Chain A
Amino acid sequence: MDLSLSTRTVGDRTVVEVGGEIDVYTAPKLREQLVELVNDGSFHLVVDMEGVDFLDSTGLGVLVGGLKRVRAHEGSLRLVCNQERILKIFRITGLTKVFPIHTSVEEAVAATD
């Protein structure tokens, strides 16, 4: 399964819905999407990963890169994920301390801290 990406605006947040597999082959597409959003002035991103089947360190790298970009504009990057196997990768790499991870898009959009 390939990567699917769609974006929508909710208030001042931009929700990026990601589906499929984020790996060494597909991660560049996600990187392009995040770069494009930041270049277009969207600095508060919510990445919805509920449809993601697979995530590897290349994908983590892209998310960290996205976080760096939005922070340069005092923005935010929040994740939505309830899947244990995906959450595990964030835990073993210590990235749960870096990304705010929410259980729903509504929660992520409403979060301010």
Chain B
Amino acid sequence: MATVELRFSALPEHVRTARLVAAAVARRAGVDEAVLDEVRLAVGEACSRAVGLHRNGGITAPVKVALIEEEKQFSIEVGDQVPHPAPGGAPGALGDDAEAEEDEMGLAVISGLVDDVEVSAGEEGGLIRMTWPTTPPAALPLN
């Protein structure tokens, strides 16, 4: 399984918790301190977007966040459980235009911040995967 997994009810007040946990795990994984602000912002954007999609779609399932520590890299996956229509499918699934604009704004910020980002969507829901390089911590001297 992922290093740390979170599931939270799709409520705006929990997005901050996800940001704090993600930043803490990223720091431990060896993500550069200078990049932690970006990690915090990007995961917040992805979670806010998922919360919005769940609320607009009347989905009661939780938003899922997986924090994955791998060799030389750290990834965060934020998954919503809103079925996304295939391209060319039924329009209007995102509700009105304002909601669609907010959704795009969040994605714009993520793609501006994170070099390595994949956005996928299917019938089961959408997933944003963001990856940052890590530097292994220097071996600490043991007393």
Contacts and interface: CB of A to CB of B under 8 A. Distances in A.
Decide whether A and B are members of one complex: yes
Interface of A: 21, 23-25, 54, 56-58, 60-61, 85, 89, 92-93
Interface of B: 12-13, 15-16, 19, 37, 40-41, 44-45, 48, 51-52, 102, 105-106, 108-109, 112-113
Nearest to A25: B12
B37 A85 contact: yes
A58 B112 CA distance: 16
A57 B15 contact: no
DSSP class of B's interface residues: helix, strand, loop or mixed?
helix
Contacts of A24: 12, 15, 44, 48, 51-52
A57 B16 contact: no
Contact of B15 (A23, A61, A92, A93): A23
A89 B45 CA distance: 12
Contacts of B113: 92
Contact of A56 (B13, B41, B112): B41
A93 B109 contact: yes
Given A25-B16, A56-B45, A93 B105 contact: yes
B51 A57 contact: no
A92 B16 CA distance: 22
